[in-house]
Structure 1
Amino acid sequence: VVIVADLKRVIGDLPKDWGEGAGKIAMSDGQELFFSEMPFSQTDGLRLSSHGENGYDIVEENGQRFFVSYVKSAYKNWTYWSLIPFDAMFSKISAMKTILISLFILFFLIAVLFGRKMARGITSPIEKLVAAMKNVQTGDFKLAPLTRAPSDRQDEVSVLNRNFFTMVERINELIAENYEKQLMLKETEFRALQAQINPHFLYNTLESINWLAKTNRQPQISKMTESLGFLLRNAINMKNDVVTIEEEAEIVLHYFTIQRFRFEERFVFELDIEPAVKKCRVPKLVLQPLAENAITYCLEPFIEPCHIHIKACKKGGFVYLTVADNGPGMDEDFLEKARKKLVRTRGRGIGLQNIDERIQLMFGKEYGLTISSEKNKGTEMLIKIPFQSGV
């Protein structure tokens, strides 16, 4: 039986991984080639007598290099040869290398763009926040280029953004409040300057009346004018809010001088100030409103002569200022209102609550004004303050 195999056709049907013209096949029996697709004019370079089982070699033919590999078969001691041109091999590798480099460059550009976008998302809010801080540093509190971060974002930059917004809004509120207060202060100062015109004119007028009364030998008018001028100066002078008991008693004395000429024999007053307490300091205008209150509720509705006794004495480590009268006294309802400091004195309108609060503000909550009264037995108002040397 003879079997004829067309080796060329069989080899032609094999897959050509390296393209047309590559992957040439040859077969030998150890002595000579009995099949060859190789374009060699000489086959000695293939080392047909090689005793190795398999291997590879590099040969050169007509200035062209080839990669030759061979495998020895156990059947009939045949050797199979495969020939691949170097150009065919490295063209594929170069193409693969070019593709890989292109893919790497593409991925690198994508990574750079993505990283830039992420970095921009992080640095952009910080840059805006820094720009807003610089604007605030120069006095611009508008925050126009900056927007408040959403409350659901809890990253550090967003928290800093919201806190900065809150701080600037609070600063704006304080600036607005301070601006309004400054305007009110300026307006008050302006009105105070305007108000000084009338008192000066009044003082000059009183001085003229006093001079005229002395010229015409009217001592009562002169004394009333002097006392009125003294009271007006002390009422308007707000430079000293704290005076000594001696100075406060002098104010009361001038006030009683005017009232004595008004009510004549119906009004009797006593002023008893111990020398030890004369230099003790008290808030200005605490005795005069109480004396005025005694005249209002004792002398005016009372037919009998009104006795008002003002006393200042030291007991232990305290000083007691007393304004007592022999008037009709107070009923329970009115006394309760007076104790709650709901009764206002007439004239300047300085209420009992105002006197009590100023004393407590200066000395403490344990000091202040107390009122005691009994129907048809008069009223006594007592101020308690700590004893001080007044130095």
Structure 2
Amino acid sequence: MNAIIKPIHSVSIRTLLLGAFLTLMLIPFVVIALITYHKENQIIQKQTSQLLLQTVEQTQRAMDANLAEIDRLTWALLYDQSSDLDFLNGSFGSAYQIFEASQRFKEKFYTDMFRGRLEYIQAVHFITPEMNILSTDNTFRSKSQLDLANYQYIVSQIDKEPLQLHWFSKSREVFHPKESFDTPIKESVTATRRLIDSNSGKLKGYLFIQFNDRFIQENLQNVQIGATGAIYVSDRSGDRVYQQERQLMDNNTKLIEAINSITNKERGYQIVDNEWLLAFNSSEVSGWKMTAIVPMNELIGANQQILSYLLLMTLMGAVVSIIISFLLATSISKPVIQLARHMSSASLHHLVEEHSPIRELRILNRNFNQLILRTRELIKQNEVQEREKREALLKALQMQIHPHFLYNTLDTMYWMSIKYKAETVSKLVTALGRFFRFTLSSDREWISIQQEMEHIQNYLTIQSYRYQDKFSYQLSIEETIRNNRIMPLILQPLVENAIEHGISKSSEKGTISIVACKIGDKVCISIANTGGRLDLEHVKQLLNADHASEHVGLRNVQQRIKLAFGKEYGLQFSINTIDGTVVIVTLPHQDLFAAKPMGV
């Protein structure tokens, strides 16, 4: 079953760079704009909250001064020992006595105590422990008209702090007004104090001062809280004492609940439901909590101009970022795209230009050109190697013509030399047979150094008969490298050169010494001979040349070793200490039966 290959959606480098640059440039603009707007919004809210709280505190102090004045006027009643209030201590057995005491009560308070504040007072009531009621009202007040629930609540609160003047909202008034024609003046808060006899400590009764709505309005109605804000005053129990007639407060039960939820706090500001900013302060005189309410959209509206500036700056930054990102992406991607096009259309005969303003791209261009040049070199080496292989194959084919006929002939010559007792001929024929058997069967890629040395020994035996004992030879191989791998017929050209160009040109008998040993991680085979010396510089030039008519065998050996093992291996030439030349063959130490063939 063939696997289904999913198509890969490719993206151009220009698109990737453009996206990366836009992301890196736009994100800071957006983040900075958001942080700036958020911080600016916090600063404006904090400054507005503090300013609003200061306004509340100043308004609270002005109203507390008005309330403290009432407290000061009524404080004298606690320690009044004059006869002006004796009528409060008497018994009221008849309606006439109550009426008479009420007249004196009205005269005392309206004429003496509150004559400068009569426009703010709706009525003043005094309720004795026996529930007798004195009032400044023109109408007669009786126990039946009293709101007992409110009365008992007020008395319980006064008993907790008997020396204080207590303030209560309209909802806690002890006498409710009768329904009559509508009047612009309405009942408002009530101030209540407990009166005792300073001599005996006996309770005289409770004083109730009923104020109208002008008492608080004149202090609060002209206070401006923003454009749409409002003032709201509540007592300790959360009952409304006063509220500005603003659209914000009309039937807004949710806002009233939010205000009541912070009654346990004395001073501060708070944001409720992200809709309102509340600044509040509690009065030490009355215990009332004054709250200033400002809608959050009014504060946010003040910050809209800053937001518009930030958006404009962000937009301009985005435009600049797009332009810069486009230019940067183009400047980086254009050389890369050109390099990709050149690489796709490049051949072994054409190189790409290395001129680029970007260093990394110049390196890529240079490396690509080096790859092309290296490919050319490898192809050329491969062509040379293939040509040499074809030549070697042709020679091998030529040498393999009738090999059995050659072996049979040599075998016949050997037995005839034995028959006629020609020992020298038999040795020569034996060496020649072994030599040809190794040469004609050397189609293997690798052999051991031991096999190669045995072949060289046969070759030297044959040559020694040819040159009539003009030279002697010595072979030595280290035991640990006998199985080291080597290519066949590597040493024969070197030994042949030692005989032909060294010993044969000398008038004296020469020597050939072949030693194979291990040095470090390498195997070195030295071939030293006496006789004529080679011109080392000339030989090196011939080895490095592509074509040469001289020393073809040496050049072939050098190329075979370097192609098989690498450039650090090959042939080295030096002058013998006595006379002659030394050739050193350097190979890697690799066991024939364990190492894998090396190659380039």
Q: Smaller-chain TM-score range?
A: 0.3 to 0.5
Higher RCO, 1 vs 2 (CA within 8 Å, ≥6 residues apart): 2
Q: TM-score, normalised by structure 1?
A: 0.47
Larger radius of gyration: 2
